[in-house]
Structure 1
């Protein structure tokens, strides 16, 4: 349980769901410092306590911020780098918003909500990568973007969320291509259907018990943050496809 020994990570959208489970897993795997951020302070404080309990020695930063706001991104990065003495090994762009629920068709989609979804799900990852790169470029690091099958296939009613994930797929590919000769690697992961608050809001008529528990799919995120994946760059993973994960692990070895 020490695959991330001594590493420092920043995880957005980490007050609940997948982001929280990633933070707990990173703490248990020996990370030296983990910055978790989300908008709601109550859930964020509870998340910080859970991560700290999982590994009392880890330094946990809980930063309340809204990634749809560029000034908040500036503050998050500055605070994280200051507390971690200028070092950052892992960035996970996990924060996301579904938009209005139930999700309207594009014809009826409110413009303000469309802007908010794209700012959160697409512009924020672009800005966060841009801001943390100077800290990563010397020592190397891992950037992991959380995508969706809605970013590969246009589903009716998934509106701005799906469009933002299409954009994130392209953003990930472009950053990966531009950083190919650097020590910073970029990969992106589709976690699949998960039992999270956001997914339940998106599909309230479905049975969430049929979806995966976020804690059961975090291993791919540990792997991509660890030195085991130093040779893995520019790849898209499906977290619930075990064969794909095992293949990537074998190739990196």
Structure 2
């Protein structure tokens, strides 16, 4: 689909922005003149990526409830609002992967805290800014990074898969609820990628069989622009 939305000036926030898919997204978005904020836990990594890309780096942990509103305040102050939120940060839960019967409750809680609650809380904290962007005709979109583990029952992936399944369904419900606000929510599965997270999960995997995060990022940006273009046409009174 040809899009009518330009990345230049688009205000995008990416969580987990210093490695893997998140880093690829930050690099590609800033290279195309988007206004980008990203969140990660390591101050050194945030400083490095911010210096490389010119993006606004925010040191925080989205699994921590007390970090969420400070993130939202820094995003809206630094970018002047937000048009797109990409909830990319993810946790496997137990490392190495474990069967559910061998998974500590705390490890399941850790996966849920990042993959589900973190995405929920940050979306909720930025909801007003997203709604304002929609009213201004800029489009408003939340992209939640999902996984095929959300729909396929892979032994050992219980904590991660359950949290991503919950995220996918939360996304679908929220998308239905906010149509009148002009906000869209999408859950996108980027596929198996050659990332540090995948290496933690399956250290013996052959990297040549995995998708490069740069390719996955380009695909996600294309889908993001498609969704924003549909919104723009709807706002203009056209039918997609």
Task: Give the TM-score range, shorter chain.
Answer: 0.7 to 0.9
Match of 1:26 in 2: 29
Match of 1:112 in 2: 106
Do the aligned partners of 1:11 and 1:36 also contact (CA within 8 Å) in 2?
A: yes
Kindly indicate whether residue 78 of structure 2 is the aligned counterpart of residue 83 of structure 1: yes
Match of 2:69 in 1: 74
Correspondence for 1:11 among 11, 14, 23: 14
In 2, the alpha carbon distance for the partners of 1:189 and 1:227 equals 13
Q: Give the C-alpha shift of residue 93 in structure 1.
A: 0.2
Kindly indicate whether residue 168 of structure 2 is the aligned counterpart of residue 180 of structure 1: no
SS state at 2:143 partner: strand
SS state at 1:194 partner: coil
1:136-186 per-position Cα deviation (integer Å, ceiling 9, x unaligned) = 113221110000000011211002101001101111101111012221111
Do the aligned partners of 1:122 and 1:167 also contact (CA within 8 Å) in 2?
A: yes
Match of 1:206 in 2: 205
Kindly indicate whether residue 95 of structure 2 is the aligned counterpart of residue 101 of structure 1: yes
Q: Give the C-alpha shift of residue 230 in structure 1.
A: 3.3
In 2, the alpha carbon distance for the partners of 1:200 and 1:213 equals 13
With over 3 angstroms needed to count, the CA separation of the structure-2 counterparts of 1:227 and 1:206, relative to structure 1, is closer
SS state at 1:137 partner: helix
In 2, the alpha carbon distance for the partners of 1:111 and 1:171 equals 22
- Count of aligned pairs between the two proteins: 224
Do the aligned partners of 1:223 and 1:229 also contact (CA within 8 Å) in 2?
A: no
Question: TM-score with structure 1 length normalisation?
Answer: 0.84
Kindly indicate whether residue 47 of structure 2 is the aligned counterpart of residue 45 of structure 1: yes
Kindly indicate whether residue 137 of structure 2 is the aligned counterpart of residue 138 of structure 1: no
Gaps of 5+ in 2: 135-139, 232-238
Kindly indicate whether residue 220 of structure 2 is the aligned counterpart of residue 197 of structure 1: no
Do the aligned partners of 1:4 and 1:26 also contact (CA within 8 Å) in 2?
A: yes
If asked which structure has higher relative contact order (CA below 8 Å, sep 6+), I would say 2
SS state at 1:201 partner: helix
Do the aligned partners of 1:3 and 1:30 also contact (CA within 8 Å) in 2?
A: no
Question: TM-score with structure 2 length normalisation?
Answer: 0.88
With over 3 angstroms needed to count, the CA separation of the structure-2 counterparts of 1:125 and 1:228, relative to structure 1, is closer
In 2, the alpha carbon distance for the partners of 1:194 and 1:163 equals 19
Do the aligned partners of 2:94 and 2:159 also contact (CA within 8 Å) in 1?
A: no
With over 3 angstroms needed to count, the CA separation of the structure-2 counterparts of 1:38 and 1:179, relative to structure 1, is same
Kindly indicate whether residue 56 of structure 2 is the aligned counterpart of residue 61 of structure 1: yes
Gaps of 5+ in 1: 53-59, 233-251
Do the aligned partners of 2:15 and 2:89 also contact (CA within 8 Å) in 1?
A: yes
Segments ≥4 residues shifted beyond 6 Å = none
**C-alpha root-mean-square deviation of aligned residues, in Å?**
1.7
